[in-house]
A and B are shown apart, each in its own frame.
Chain A
Amino acid sequence: MTERDAQYDNRGRCDEAFLAGHGGECLSGHIDEWPEAALDYLEGHLDAGRAVVVEAHLASCPECFRRLEHQRALSGLLHELPLEPAPAELEERVLEAVLATRELPGRLATQEVPPSRAVGEASVPRRETEHLEPTWWSRLWHSRVRPWVPASIAVAALLLGILGYGLLRSGAENQADYAGSRLATTAAPATTSEPAQTPTPGETRKGAGSTVYAQDSTVTALGSPPAAEAESETTTTAAGTTSETIATATASSAETGYLAAAISDRKSMIAELAQVQGPVYFVFVSAKLGGSVSAETSEAVVQQLGNITGLEPLAASLALDGPTFAAYVPREDASALVDLLLSIKASLQLELHLEPQPPEATPERISRLFAHKQEFPVLSAHRTPAPAVSAWSFTTSTLLSPGDTTKRSIPTPDEDGSHVLVVILVRR
């Protein structure tokens, strides 16, 4: 670089009088200081005045001329390279998956589907598809090169899920039993960085976090195989009641694309997150009078959520009626998120609702919140590797990729439907 500069600086001088007569002005420096003009010149998009300037520089600077030649050559080379055909099976898989869910808006609008069927089609089969289908391709890859095989993990998780689901259903009417059964099934897996602990009163913050983590891993073991849920639909009366709630909620959102009413059961929450269009609000409320969460408990939620996901609460100026989190969550991570929040709910003996609008939040506060949409992080769930078969871990990342300095006009991940904007509120 320095050699080049030393060699050509003197040749790059600009004849100002000549250029002024052609409506141009001198370019400063070499070609890498005006790459846009160089590319526009290559493609003939530079206006006459500026083209004259570029040509004047090129005529006097062989180095820049040579570099522009490379630009042209590389462009031509890449442009003429053939594109690879996509695998032939891909088309069938895509279309099958899409058509099987019958979620083309036109089809939904024109078909009358009984509510119970609507539930099945709108939620369960799609989760199956999203969860299992992508790994079909991966299997070729993973079976050769990964230290563990996703297919066998899936089977193990499925078995764990069926086992755990039975336990869960048998204790469904009792919240304490619910949490207990999840803990009971964890015995095997937890080889994550933080060991499972029995929660004790007065634990430190960190202790509280790791307890939830252990619970979380179990919850996911129960929740991850959608097939198990589908097959167990008939178990208890409690489940029957729930499925009616889901039917109503899902059917309404299938029509509108938006969550119509508050829901609080796991399955409906997951189904909603997988398809709801607008932002949704998870609201932690106290089971006791008034619903407001005490300051101490509220702080515990913030700590647990922060420890597990890395999310930080929004600044007080943006917060709604209590500590508030906002993040974009990939739709396929809906169950991981719901299970995480449910585990926090259970450990702190709170209630959790998924709501279309937060209670008592003014439109001004909500619009102020969404004015900062581009700053919200993406919250992704990751399966932790074997032998902690069923555990999830979470990571957050910002929308702006490293080195991206333009903070304007960044599309947010919810705009293309791949992510859902989730606001988590602890009601104070």
Chain B
Amino acid sequence: MSDFSRLDSSYPKGHSGAHCGVAPDADEGPDYDAELVERARAGEERALTELYRRHERRAYNLALRMLGNQWDAADVTQEAFIKAFRNLGSYKGEARFSTWLHRIVVNAAYDHLRRRQDEPVETETLDDLSGPAGPVTSLAGGGAGIEPAADGLSEPVKRALLSLNEGFRLAVVLCDLLGFPYSEAAEILGVQEGTIKSRIFRAREALAQALFEAGYELPRSTVAQEPGGSGRRQSDQQDRGQL
């Protein structure tokens, strides 16, 4: 009976309040963004810089996880910030600035994906990208090519993420990776909060499965301890890598 109680106590410290994570800018809160927007509207360049710095990392990582490579992510992040800053006049303040901005990032990334789909891609291109050329690219056979650059996530996690359906990946990236509250992720994607939770649940299940199949073990995982499970999994356990 007491086993499951540790689920709560061992939950990461960042996960508190009505959030699925803690936003990087949580120290000063959304009100500070609103203040910066006002100052930027009044022509203060420094306010723009500050707005940029407060949100660039999450915006870039969102684009990176949607598009799968740094170059496209940089393009889309740049485009989204320029659009947002040029249209500060049309920002009504009904949503948080970060919600509004990241919605622009998502739209820009979708536009980018649409354009990219229309461009011919030669076979060697896919080889060159070692798989994750985009959200719809199969990961099968990846790894033989040149990795564009290290991009932070460990390879198995990155591959597992890219194997997810886009809607699920976006939900888990926004909440688990970038720390948006469920409610804000729902606003960014224009879906109900319940939909976000459901997607995150299913995404994490798929991630756990993908990682297990790739031979990796979750931290303090019980994957291989299935009651009544066969000895095969137990022996696999010895060969499993760490994430």
Which residues of A pack against B, CB within 8 Å? 7, 32, 35-36, 38-45, 55, 58-59, 62, 65-87, 90-91, 93-95, 97-99, 101, 103-107, 110, 126, 129-130, 133-135, 137-138, 140-141, 144-147, 257, 277, 330-331, 380, 382, 384-385, 393, 395, 397, 401, 403-404, 406, 408-411, 413, 416-419
Contacts and interface: CB of A to CB of B under 8 A. Distances in A.
A103 B167 CA distance: 35
Contacts of B16: 43
A98 B208 contact: no
A55 B114 CA distance: 45
Given A42-B11, A79-B15, A401-B166, 6 more contacts: A7-B227, A71-B205, A75-B204, A135-B75, A406-B191, A406-B192
A10 to B, nearest CB: 13
Residue of A40, A73, A93, A413 most packed against chain B (CB within 10 A): A73
Interface string B187-216: 100111011011011101101100000000
B177 A385 contact: no
A209 to B, nearest CB: 19
Contacts of A393: 118
Contact of B243 (A77, A85, A380): A77
Contact of A145 (B56, B84, B108, B125): B125
Nearest to A65: B4
B86 A406 contact: no
A86 B107 contact: no
A145 B129 contact: yes
A417 B75 contact: no
A32 B204 CA distance: 11
A56 to B, nearest CB: 10
A58 B4 contact: yes
A146 B72 contact: no
B159 interface: no
Nearest to B3: A65
B228 to A, nearest CB: 7
State the main secondary structure of chain A at its contact with B: helix
A140 B15 contact: no
Contacts of A104: 40-41, 43, 48, 85, 88
Given A39-B197, A79-B14, A95 B40 contact: no
Nearest to A397: B114
A45 B69 CA distance: 36
B119 A146 contact: yes
A77 B49 CA distance: 31
A417 B7 contact: no
A38 B152 contact: no
Interface residues of B, number: 109
A380 B88 contact: no
B18 interface: yes
Nearest to B49: A95
Which 9 pairs show the lowest CB-CB distances between chains A and B? A417-B87, A35-B201, A141-B71, A86-B60, A106-B43, A78-B176, A74-B204, A106-B42, A105-B89
B177 A409 contact: no
A35 B3 CA distance: 20
B57 interface: yes
Interface in B89-130: 89-91, 100, 103-104, 107-108, 110-111, 114-115, 118-122, 124-125, 128-129
Residue of A7, A97, A134 most packed against chain B (CB within 10 A): A134
A59 to B, nearest CB: 5
21 contacts: A35-B201, A36-B194, A40-B197, A42-B7, A42-B15, A76-B12, A78-B157, A90-B56, A101-B86, A106-B42, A130-B79, A141-B71, A144-B128, A331-B83, A384-B118, A403-B165, A406-B190, A409-B190, A411-B190, A416-B103, A418-B108
Residue of A66, A78, A401, A416 most packed against chain B (CB within 10 A): A416
B219 A147 contact: no
Contact of A38 (B70, B74, B201): B201
B90 A277 contact: yes
Contact of A43 (B20, B84, B85): B20
Nearest to B188: A411
B204 A97 contact: no
Given A91-B53, A141-B71, A411-B190, A71 B204 contact: yes
A142 to B, nearest CB: 8
Contacts of A84: 57, 60-61, 64, 70, 151-152
A105 B41 CA distance: 6
B25 to A, nearest CB: 13
B114 A382 contact: yes
Residue of A103, A104, A135, A384 most packed against chain B (CB within 10 A): A104
A147 B111 contact: no
A366 to B, nearest CB: 20
B90 A417 contact: yes
A81 B79 contact: no
Contact of A76 (B18, B71, B219): B219
A72 B221 CA distance: 10
Given A104-B41, A106-B42, A382 B115 contact: yes
A288 to B, nearest CB: 39
Contacts of A413: 107
Contacts of A38: 201
Nearest to B8: A44
